Amino acid sequence: MTTFVLIPGMCHGGWCFEQLTEQLRLHGHRVHPVTPTGLSERGHLLRGTDLETHIQDVTALLEVEDVRDAVLVGHSYGGMVITGAADRAPDRVGPLVYLDAVVPEHGDSMWSLVSDRERQWYLDVVETGDAVRPLPFFDPRATPHPLVSLLQPLRLDGPVRARRNVYVYAAGWEGPSPFTPFYERLREDPSWTVHALDGGHNLMRDAPQDLLKILLETAESP
């Protein structure tokens, strides 16, 4: 049995992994879909929430549940979170799986890593000025995302050494993908296992069976 910890992208909660969670559990695995602080059913905690808070959401779960060798899966913004969690709790983390996500290094932020088009979205904040509005086509359950978590540079104490690094690229974007530079760089890196799926950014919805297969293979690999 493998423990999967699933971290969503901006504006989303653990509910976005509902189908994937069910399928992984049917295969006998332990699964923790995370709703980051300040989002979805935890939206009332938005004030004061930043990237470090979201990293602590994961590391606290790993400690309380006494998880070892977890597969951390981060979608989009979740790439920031799983990288930070692997740095903070290396003894509890196994493979890292980036689902059409950023792959940051020390000092990077979402703002510094994405395209100008994405930055324009980040500037569409709610009336209080502290959160980014969900895009109109998002799931109705999506909620505003804390702005500071997108601007805050990631702090890493050293190179993140995962048991295995996996990148899953969504090849079906309508228009340019902000994640193409990561895909093009990592597919040339022999230390990474890289996949390209025929789906849009929401791979959990667009390519569920292909994604499930990749995660099961990740769990089985030494």
Which pTM does this prediction carry? 0.97
pLDDT at 189: 96
pLDDT string in tens for the chain (222-residue length): 999 999 999 999 999 999 999 999 999 999 999 999 999 999 999 999 999 999 999 999 999 999 999 999 999 999 999 999 999 999 999 999 999 999 999 999 999 999 999 999 999 999 999 999 999 999 999 999 999 999 999 999 988 988 899 999 999 998 899 999 999 999 999 999 999 999 999 999 999 999 999 999 999 987
Cite the active site residues.
Answer: 76
Residue with tokens 């293979």: 217
Structure-token pair, residue 82: 């799983």
CA–CA distance, 123 with 175 (Å, rounded to integer): 20
pLDDT at 29: 98
Domains and CATH numbers, the chain: 3-220 (3.40.50.1820)
Residue with tokens 């510094």: 112
Q: Which stretch of DSSP H or E encloses residue 132?
A: strand 131-132
**Backbone dihedral region for residue 150 (phi beyond 0: left; psi -120 to 50: alpha; all else: beta):** alpha
